[in-house]
Chains A and B, each alone.
Chain A
Amino acid sequence: MRLSPDQIVLWHYGFIKLNGTIALTWALMLVLAVGSKLITRKLATDLHRTRWQNLLEIAVTGIEKQISEVGLRHPRTYIGFLGTLFLFVALASLCTVIPGYDPPTGSLSTTAALALCVLAAVPFYGISEQGLGGYLKSYTEPTLLMLPFNIISELSRTLALAVRLFGNMMSGTMILAILVTITPLIFPIAMSALGLLTGMVQAYIFSILAAVYIAAATRKSQAAPAAATTHAK
């Protein structure tokens, strides 16, 4: 019973292992990077644009709109990080239609790495927006008594991000593997469609939660009335 692509070991030297997770992650990165580079080689600004450029524009403007609806001003500064999170997790779960493929996000290592990236990005954007003193002061809001709880909540939501994505992806592949041994063809197809849906939803959830955490870190306290009016629109 294979729980994750971790168990396919392609090459090892001592304790350094090149397992399926690493190979698949690099393959996905290659597809994303090379694909985007090929599509954006000749960008057209008139009405005659290729369908691939259209696809990329839909993706970019859609993600930008979602980021600005969360409450982050200047979504272009964050779209590199948040867009990549969404596109990587979405592509990882979309490729389950390829037979023999197990998503690398079904391994706790990948999801922990992504959650650690979010953990590092929140102070990074917070300090770049509010300065070091302003960001550290936000940990003592509303009172200094809340400082340990704020720190604990920071760590626990990182853990929750990692385990949520890992659990959803792993359960999808595991249910499929179990069902294939019981009733081939009908149920596994329905379950893999469900797996695709939850994969997309989890990709969206992961990036939206990262955006919400970054928005909470970059929001200045006196901007609270402004945020309320933008939400009321």
Chain B
Amino acid sequence: MDSTTLIAITSIITAGLTIAIGSVGPALGEGRAVATALSSLAQQPDAATTITRTLFVGLAMIESIAIYCFVVSMILLFANPFWNHIIAPVAGK
């Protein structure tokens, strides 16, 4: 197995695994955040705007972790420096 094939295989598998494993944590965290927000909304409905705003800000911060994993996955698939380096002499011909 030459290095081109090896780089391709590793990139593809890692890209899939990155986004698969990386979305588990944020999804669980967001579920817990929304559940707690709902129960505190039920306890104090007149603080609804503050709770909702804080919920959205918290969700965005938790979501960023999943976004980081997505960006790494995209880099591996579309802007892979190792792949570009190994494919450059072939594409240059």
Binding site for B on A (CB under 8 A): 1, 3, 69, 160, 163-164, 166-168, 170-171, 174, 201-202, 204-205, 208-209, 212, 231
Contact = CB atoms under 8 A, between A and B. Distances in A.
Interface class of chain B by DSSP: helix
B84 to A, nearest CB: 14
Interface string B50-62: 1001001100110
Contacts of B63: 164, 168
Interface stretch (B7-15, B26-34, B70-78): B70-78
Interface of B: 49-50, 53, 56-57, 60-61, 63-64, 67-68, 70-71, 74, 78-79
A220 B91 CA distance: 60
B37 to A, nearest CB: 15
A205 B50 CA distance: 14
A208 B53 contact: yes
Contacts of A167: 64, 67-68, 70-71
B90 to A, nearest CB: 20
A209 B70 CA distance: 22
Contact of B53 (A1, A3, A69, A170): A69
Given A167-B71, A208-B53, A3 B64 contact: no
A3 B56 contact: no
B56 A201 contact: yes
A171 B57 contact: no
Given A1-B78, A231-B50, 10 more contacts: A3-B74, A3-B78, A69-B49, A69-B50, A164-B60, A164-B67, A167-B64, A167-B70, A174-B74, A204-B56
Contacts of A209: 57, 60
A205 B57 contact: yes
B89 to A, nearest CB: 23
B53 A160 contact: no
A163 B61 CA distance: 11
Nearest to A164: B64
Given A163-B68, A164-B63, A164-B67, A205 B74 contact: no
Nearest to A212: B57
Contacts of A69: 49-50, 53
